[in-house]
Amino acid sequence: MKLLHTKLPDFMKKMYVAATAKYPEKTIQIRGLENLHNAKMQSLRTGRIEKAVEEMAEREDVASIDFVVLPRVPETMHTVAVKGLDSEGNVKKVVLEVINILHPTEEIEFGDCTDIEDHRPPIGLH
Amino acid sequence: MKYKMFPEGKIEDKMIPVNVIFMNVKDIAAAGMTQDEAIHEVAKRHMEPTAINIFDMDACTTTSDGLCIEGAIVRMGASDRGRVNPDFGILPMYEFSFDEKMLETERHLIQWKKLFPERKLFRGPDPSKKIIPIHNVVISGRASNNNSATEMMNIVTMDEVLYPIIGQLESQRDGELLVGWTGETMSVGIGMTVAEQFGRVFPHPQFKAGETAHNSGPYAKTLKQWIPCIVAAKQTMAKYIIRALDCGCVPGLDIGCSPLNLAVARALGREIAFDNIAESSWAELESVGITREWAEQSLNLSPEEVIERADELLPGVEDAKKYKAHELIQEY
């Protein structure tokens, strides 16, 4: 079971290693995971993403990698927990609400680039 | 390919954050294109965040507060830097043909029956045919075209414009437009909906006439308070509301209890379903000065007088300036 999902810190480390193991002068910046603290990352995709990072680092015209994680579906549904705490930090009351958040789609990351390889399976056919 | 566009940019101190393009199904057909092809084609011509709305002027639609009007958006798109997102950039609206049974759950559709039952009706998309879970929205890059193409945003700058359907229709008919801030009254009014199947905002019937979708008391007037809006002149709104009342629709029962509907019914001395308006709706209405006591003070004006005095009688939209549509709309 250990291999089915990757721990978030391991995922981050894997990407740094994939980018810099062969080319220590190259750098990678990871964005989009800042708000995650407890997460298990899909292992099957983790390996493919490592491969993509490594191949990107191998390109002669690439000096650094900007690694961005953004919602595939640009509307995410979140639970909001409004918690009331007493003076000792014990939870005395919780109100649950929902908030749906709209996000930009991946096009905002492309700049003027037209060389875009899409490895993602179609939505619904994963 | 013929089309019209309200361009991105500032109208005095109001920032319109996206281009809004209007296309017509007949022009698209004349160009030998599908509607999707037409959206991709015009997208390539504009690099700014852009909302692309395709209209069928022979169809009809409804406003969120229950007015039936001629002309409907049948498909919406969004583009950015010439690109249309392949998964989330285009969405068609669901097509209804007149069905007497719909009147059982949607009392405002008596207007459809009395005025133009031969017209197809389009409001929002079929939720089972869209992959975005909640909002009736299309998104490409920065551009978001939301609430079935009446609320557009640049999601990166987070600027927004409210462009209700009647304002969009008047934009194409060279009618009169107001460009202003939504303000507290419009913010409250947006929540006074009617319940609809495949509606502009909600996929299934939820908030009936007399209820508030916002249901947030004094906070409702702040939810959409400081947003630039492009809306039809109040004379136009008065005409549509009077027509709905003439069809027998009662604000708070058949059509929404929005400040506009209440104000016109009050001015004419027409029936208002006071007791069917929920306490939560009254709380929001009262927060912008619309009390039951005020609404009960009928003015008994004629329709002509209400239309003539619409700027004075109909509340909503702040710091507004009136334009003829051709002063703002570009034609291609």
Domain spans in chain A, listed from the N-terminal domain onward: 1-69, 71-117
Instruction: Please report residues of B whose CB lies closer than 8 A to that of A103.
Output: 139, 155
pLDDT value for A3: 59
Instruction: Give me the DSSP letters along B256-317.
Output: ---HHHHHHHHHHT----GGGS-HHHHHHHHTTT--HHHHHS-----HHHHHHTHHHHS---
Distance from CA of B156 to the nearest CA of A (A): 7
Pick the range with the lowest mean pLDDT from A10-19, A117-126, B134-143, B268-277.
A117-126
Q: Name which of B133, B134, B156 is nearest A108 (Cβ-Cβ).
A: B156
Distance in Å, alpha carbon of A72 to nearest chain B alpha carbon: 10
* Partner-chain contact A74 B132, CB within 8 Å: yes
- Asked if B138 is an interface residue toward chain A (Cβ–Cβ < 8 A), one would say no
- Convert the pLDDT of each residue in A40-66 to its tens digit: 999 889 999 999 999 999 999 999 999
B237: pLDDT strictly greater than 60: yes
User: What are the tens digits of pLDDT across the range A5-24?
Assistant: 899 999 999 999 999 999 99
Asked if B137 reaches chain A (Cβ–Cβ under 8 Å), the answer is yes
Contacts of A123 in chain B (CB under 8 A): 87, 131
Give percent above pLDDT 90 in chain B: 96
Q: Which long-range contacts (CB under 8 A, 24 or more apart) does A11-20 make?
A: A11/A41, A11/A46, A14/A46, A14/A50, A15/A49, A15/A50, A15/A53, A15/A67, A18/A50, A18/A51, A18/A53, A18/A54, A18/A57, A19/A53, A19/A54, A19/A56, A19/A57, A19/A65, A19/A67, A20/A57
Summary mean pLDDT of chain A: 94
- In contact, B260 and B271? CB cutoff 8 Å: no
* Measured distance CA(B62)–CA(B232) in Å, rounded: 15
Residue A101 has pLDDT above 50, yes or no: yes
- Please check whether residue B135 touches A, CB under 8 A: yes
- CA nearest neighbour of B257 among B311, B321, B185: B185
Interface contact A123-B131, CB threshold 8 A: yes
Locate the chain A residue with the closest alpha carbon to B133: A75
Which residue of A75, A108, A110 is in closest CB contact with B132? A75
**pLDDT at residue A124 in the model:** 82
Residue B232, pLDDT score: 98
Question: Does the predicted TM-score (pTM) go above 0.80?
Answer: yes
Residues with Cβ < 8 Å from B157, sequence gap 6 or more? B17, B142
CB contact under 8 Å between A105 and B139, yes or no, is yes
Measure the CA–CA gap between B127 and B94, rounded to whole angstroms: 9
Asked whether the beta carbons of residue A107 and residue B80 sit closer than 8 angstroms, the reply is: yes
The answer, yes or no, to whether residue B70 has pLDDT greater than 90, is: yes
What ipTM was estimated for this complex? Answer: 0.90
What are the DSSP E strand ranges found in chain B?
Answer: 4-6, 9-11, 14-16, 19-24, 50-62, 68-79, 90-92, 95-96, 121-122, 138-140, 143-146, 151-154, 159-162, 176-181, 228-232, 318-324, 330-331
Partner-chain contact A77 B155, CB within 8 Å: no
pLDDT in tens, A55-100: 999 999 999 999 999 999 999 999 999 999 999 999 999 999 999 9
pLDDT of residue A126: 77
> Which residues in chain A are contacts of B88 at CB distance < 8 A?
73-74, 105
Instruction: Give the A window 84-113 contacts with B, CB below 8 Å.
Output: 100, 102-108, 110
Residue A1 has a pLDDT of: 45
Contact B85 A123 (CB under 8 A): no
Rounded mean pLDDT, B198-207: 90
Chain A residue with the nearest C-alpha to that of B143: A104
pLDDT at A125: 80
Q: Is A71 at the interface with chain B, CB within 8 A?
A: no
Q: Is the pLDDT score of B52 beyond 50?
A: yes
Query: Domain coordinates of chain B in residue numbers?
Result: 4-174
A122, closest residue in chain B (CA to CA): B87
Chain-chain contact of A74 with B139 (C-beta, under 8 angstroms): yes
What percent of chain B stands above pLDDT 70? 100
Is any Cβ of chain B less than 8 angstroms from the Cβ of A70?
Answer: no
